[in-house]
């Protein structure tokens, strides 16, 4: 008897739908023992995955988030064994049993060429759905866990970016600039002038994709406002003279280029490495500081957390910052609240400012809070134009970092303390 090649609806048997095929490949990949065959399955999986439309990709992401859980029976047995005998071996067995098979599947998906970039893109894609689809949080958590290992400081390479860098990298600097928009190639040339330095961190798994851009201005004294740093000096000789006379390096823009790596720490002391590069080239530099935004300040003030909500109606009036008398009246109040915002102890409902967390975690000191450091629309919208200097003192970076990580201590200057006084 010949096999029936017709389905009940009269259609001939056909290949599974692409989304079902990619699910089959995922299950197969996890069951493979050999590295070579696993790599081949991973390549095919990514090939099929790239061809899926948005809805089918989302279906596969939900599949990853809900399947591939630890074996409950095994986990219960190992947990009971650990509770009965809390040895190091029992703890290791418990950790292994609790490790979801999903993580091993993601590791194997990473074996394919371009696998790392595809997983980063997947995390970027699911981030928009985490609030409404909590089942995706397990997938996000596993990706975060793996990325924290794959993108630690030991794997990152620091490169200087200049006008001779590949055009594709320069285009990405323009595209990824997240703090102060680069308005075309002329503006980019100014950012790469002799009194400026730009660096990028790369990872070997993403050779042409920068992870972080760091832009630096070489100046005299502590810069407290953005307009002078972004002004377009066209005289290259004057810019070289400025660099030779500079005593301060100002980190004025640090941009994370990969949305799928948001929230992943690339290890501490990234800025310290840039400081060392600058010191080697410019031994006369005595001070290394940022001029940073305060992106969470206005939102915190609006929420009324330890703040005076009576200010809000006045601050909502468009153009108040152009009225000198009004802005000077608001200045001491807003400066004090910004100091409170940046120095308060974080709590479950009130997180530390993301830029502050980055710099304090890298060992900086909260040095100075600057009134009207950035009057561009974004600066007004985020923080009423206020900007901050975080100072990187080579001799205290590690102590500052340890104090912040250990108990949340925010090392700060006497100038900041003075703002906190009633």
β-partners of residue 161 are: 198
Dihedral angle sign, alpha carbons of residues 383, 259, 277, 230: negative
Three-state SS at 276:
helix
Tell me which residue of 348, 345, 346, 339 sits closest to 307, measured CA to CA.
339
Q: What are phi and psi of 255, to 5 degrees?
A: -115, 125
Of the candidates 292, 307, 383, 401, the residue annotated as catalytic is 292
Whether 366 contacts 342, CB under 8 Å: yes
β-partners of residue 213 are: 200, 255
Tell me which residue of 195, 248, 217, 293 sits closest to 391, measured CA to CA.
248
CA 350: distance to chain centroid? 19
The four Cα atoms 186, 187, 189, 195 give a dihedral, to 10 degrees, of 140
Of the candidates 46, 58, 203, 359, the residue annotated as catalytic is 359
Three-state SS at 398:
helix
Q: What are phi and psi of 369, to 5 degrees?
A: -110, 125
359 annotated active-site: yes
The four Cα atoms 145, 151, 152, 156 give a dihedral, to 10 degrees, of 180
Q: What is the spatial distance between Cα 294 and Cα 292, in angstroms, rounded to a whole number?
A: 7
The burial of 385, by beta-carbon neighbours within 10 Å (0-12 exposed, 13-18 middle, 19 or more buried), is given as buried
Convert 147-166 into a string of H (helix), E (strand) and C (coil): HHHHCCHHHCEEEEECCCCC
β-partners of residue 254 are: 214
Pairing mode of beta strands 248-256, 287-290: parallel
Eight-class DSSP state of 9: T
Whether 330 contacts 298, CB under 8 Å: no
Q: What is the spatial distance between Cα 422 and Cα 418, in angstroms, rounded to a whole number?
A: 9
Q: What is the spatial distance between Cα 149 and Cα 165, in angstroms, rounded to a whole number?
A: 29
129 annotated active-site: no
CA atoms within 13 A on the CB side of 63: 17
Question: What residues are annotated to the active site?
Answer: 292, 359
């Amino acid at each position: 008897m010949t096999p029936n090649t017709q389905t009940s609806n009269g259609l001939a048997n056909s290949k599974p739908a692409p989304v079902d095929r990619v699910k089959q490949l995922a299950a197969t990949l996890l069951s493979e023992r050999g590295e070579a065959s696993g790599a081949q399955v991973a390549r095919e999986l990514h090939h099929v995955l790239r061809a899926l439309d948005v809805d089918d990709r989302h279906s596969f992401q939900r599949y990853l988030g809900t399947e591939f859980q630890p074996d409950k029976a095994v986990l219960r047995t190992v947990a009971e064994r650990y509770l009965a005998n809390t040895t190091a071996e029992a703890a290791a067995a418990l950790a292994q049993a609790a490790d979801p098979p999903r993580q091993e599947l993601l590791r194997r998906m990473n074996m394919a060429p371009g696998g790392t970039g595809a997983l980063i893109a997947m995390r970027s894609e699911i981030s928009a759905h985490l609030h409404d689809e909590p089942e995706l949080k397990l997938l996000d958590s596993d990706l975060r866990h793996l990325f924290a290992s794959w993108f630690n400081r030991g794997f990152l390479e620091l490169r200087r970016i200049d006008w001779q860098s590949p055009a594709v990298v320069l285009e990405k600097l323009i595209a990824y600039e997240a703090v102060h928009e680069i308005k075309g190639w002329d503006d980019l040339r100014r950012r790469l002038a002799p009194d400026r330095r730009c660096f990028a961190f790369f990872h070997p798994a993403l050779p042409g994709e920068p992870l972080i851009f760091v832009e630096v201005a070489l100046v005299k004294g502590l810069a407290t406002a953005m307009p002078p740093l972004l002004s377009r000096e066209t005289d290259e000789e004057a810019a070289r003279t400025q660099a030779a006379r500079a005593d301060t390096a100002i980190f004025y823009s640090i941009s994370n280029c990969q949305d799928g790596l948001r929230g992943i720490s690339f290890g501490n002391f990234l800025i310290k490495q840039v400081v060392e590069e600058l010191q080697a080239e410019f031994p006369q530099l005595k001070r290394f500081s940022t001029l940073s935004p305060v992106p969470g300040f206005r939102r915190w003030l609006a929420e009324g957390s330890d703040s005076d909500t009576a200010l809000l109606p006045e601050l909502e009036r468009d153009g108040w910052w152009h009225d000198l008398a009004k802005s000077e009246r608001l200045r001491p109040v807003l400066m004090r609240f910004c100091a409170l915002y940046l120095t308060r102890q974080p709590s479950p409902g009130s997180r530390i400012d993301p830029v502050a967390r980055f710099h304090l975690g890298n060992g900086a000191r909260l040095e100075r809070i600057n009134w009207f450091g950035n009057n561009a629309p974004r600066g007004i919208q985020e923080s009423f134009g206020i900007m901050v200097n975080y100072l990187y003192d080579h001799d205290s970076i590690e102590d500052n970092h340890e104090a912040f990580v250990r108990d949340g201590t925010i090392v700060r200057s006497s100038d900041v303390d003075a703002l906190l006084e009633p």
